[in-house]
Amino acid sequence: MKEIVIATSNPGKLEEFKEMLKDMEVELHYLAEWPDIEAPVENGRTFAANARLKATYYAKATGMTCIADDSGLEVQALDGAPGVYSARYAGEKATDKENNDLLLANMKLQVKRTCRFRCALCVAGADGKVQVETDGICEGMLLHEPLGDNGFGYDPLFWSTELHMGLGEATPEEKNKISHRGKAVKKLIANWKKVK
């Protein structure tokens, strides 16, 4: 059984990884098990750079193989914002609601509402060397107000053009089939032999 640490403190992400990796022979660990490890500064300009930064950092810090993702929402009318700042769009300690409220305010006069979720995934071995990198995209439209009570982050504002429903309405199983993270994890599983 392979032991792997998932480099996130986001409970929503943790549940998604648990579900998506449930058929793999892995024992998952979470950052909460290492409360003394300080988070690195995520100063990458791309999702891939931040995922790599987190995977290598936490692999070395924990001495375990690490899966890290960096993901967020890109809104075409806002030139790709919030992008890599998705989790802290309204400030470093912003809540999901604060981020969503700011995004809606910034999009108030916009007619074009095309957007996408993007995920970059990186696996680093205990020595900090990168083993696998994958990515995934989920296309959609930004809603004018929240819809549904499921998911987290910007999910209530995202209309999936694949599911023909809001991600806030989708079940976890429905979301994982088409989500940016789901697609990145599927690619990871296809390259699982490279994970050591």
Q: How many CB atoms lie within 10 A of CB 49?
A: 16
Q: Rounded to whole angstroms, how far apart are CA atoms 49 and 83? A: 13
Residue 36 is a catalytic residue: no
Amino acid letter, residue 93 = K
The catalytic residue among 69, 70, 135, 155 is 70
Coil, helix or strand at residue 66:
strand
Residues near 169 by Cβ (< 8 Å), separated by ≥ 6?
A: 147, 148, 150
14 is written with which tokens?
């943790």
Peptide bond into 35 cis (omega under 30): no
Q: Are 166 and 158 in contact (CB under 8 A)?
A: yes
* Residues noted as catalytic: 70
